[in-house]
Chain A
Amino acid sequence: MSAPRAIPPLVRDLYKRALLIGRDYPHADGMPYVRRVWKAALTRDRDEPAFADAALRKKVAKGRFMLREMVGVIQLKKYRAMKRRYYDDRDEELQGKMRELHRRGEEGR
């Protein structure tokens, strides 16, 4: 049996970034979920013969894209939570208009 291959520095860096962002990821399982999914994704190609540099970079680029997606989810969740907590009562006017429209529709029937 051969000794386990060293983790490429780019991949290690990617995992570090994922763990950092994962602290804020809105999921019921939180950090353990992020760790599980990222570990699975990063070790999927572990038994492949060593990637050529360009291929590895391409994979890492995809990983960095996924990190940006995670940040997007975090920001959106936070914005929506704030909006729901502090601003949703402002839709009353809209609701009033909708009620009015509905009433007119009923009359015209």
Chain B
Amino acid sequence: MSRVMVGVKRVVDYAVKVRVASDKKAVDLANVKMSMNPFCEIAVEEAVRLKEAKKASEIIAVSIGPKQAQETLRTALAMGCDRAIHITTDLRTDQELGPKGVAKLLAAVAEKESPDVVIVGKQAIDGDMGCTGSMLAAYMDVPQCTFAAKIDLDAKTVERETDAGTEVVSFPSLPAVFTADLRLNEPRYATLPNIMKAKKKKMDTIAAADLVADLTDGNTVLEVFEPAPRAAGVLVDDVDALVDKLKNEAAVI
């Protein structure tokens, strides 16, 4: 039976259309709906399934961020995690606190909790860095299996997503770090009774500064801007007009 640690991140909800703040240094977070990163949901689901298959004894959810990150942790608890650790920081988790700082913090927690399996999402949908899992494995000095589409702890193999399809790799031993890809599973939706039960589960709070002194990664955001808008399309009257335009204006036929 292994102990599982899951990293969850509170991000801007996937359905929200983000706007750049007036100082062009960040995305505007005022009055924006926040929720758990979809890839972290998949990671939590995988951990819960491991527990349901009697392969995991305890699931610890860890989140880094302001006080509101506790809501995200409660969601993870409602999905089936056993206890939570909240690492408090005032840094913006979408750009000020980069993957390096997060990996250091999670590695510090892992040292205390000594989990056998660490599952994180492959990337967060706000910063889209996608490095936290790999960096965490490096700081913990354990094997890493990234972009996992199927995890088999007994056979010690992982099917992972690549650009050309999937490949099966084997990992030498646990503990190991896994990063969840989209096709790993379909995350469940927390039910009302489970949300109620989650309120009674244990949540520890640790200040980030108490774990890791230096959280910087040397990056500075110079400017944040929206992608260029697409030019408006043209409606053509009939097929002849279309063929004419394709021939003469677009020069594709």
Contacts and interface: CB of A to CB of B under 8 A. Distances in A.
A20 B15 contact: no
Interface in A12-50: 16-17, 20-21, 24, 26
A26 B187 CA distance: 17
A83 interface: yes
A24 B39 CA distance: 17
B174 to A, nearest CB: 28
Contacts of B14: 78, 81-82
Contact of A81 (B15, B39, B186, B187): B15
A79 B192 contact: no
B189 A86 contact: no
A82 B38 CA distance: 8
B142 interface: no
B195 A78 contact: no
A26 B39 CA distance: 19
A96 B173 CA distance: 40
Q: How large is the interface on A (under 10, 10 to 19, 20 to 34, 35 or more residues)?
A: 20 to 34
Contact of B15 (A17, A26, A90, A93): A26
A75 B39 CA distance: 13
Contact of B192 (A16, A74, A87): A16
B189 A74 contact: yes
B182 interface: yes
A87 B186 contact: no
A86 B35 contact: no
Interface residues of B, number: 14
Given A24-B35, A90-B163, A83 B189 contact: no
Interface string A61-80: 00000000001001101110
B189 A21 contact: yes
With most chain B CB atoms within 10 A of its CB, the pick from A81, A83, A85, A86 is A86
Contacts, number: 30
Interface of B is mostly: loop
A17 B192 contact: yes
A75 B35 contact: no
B187 A75 contact: yes
Contacts of B15: 26, 77, 81
Given A17-B192, A20-B195, A83 B182 contact: yes
A87 B182 CA distance: 9
Contacts of A21: 189
A75 B182 contact: no
Contacts of B195: 20
Contacts of A85: 125
A102 B15 CA distance: 37
Closest 5 CB pairs of A and B: A71-B189, A17-B192, A81-B14, A82-B38, A82-B182
A10 to B, nearest CB: 13
Interface in B181-225: 182, 186-187, 189, 192, 195
A86 B182 contact: yes
Interface in B113-149: 125
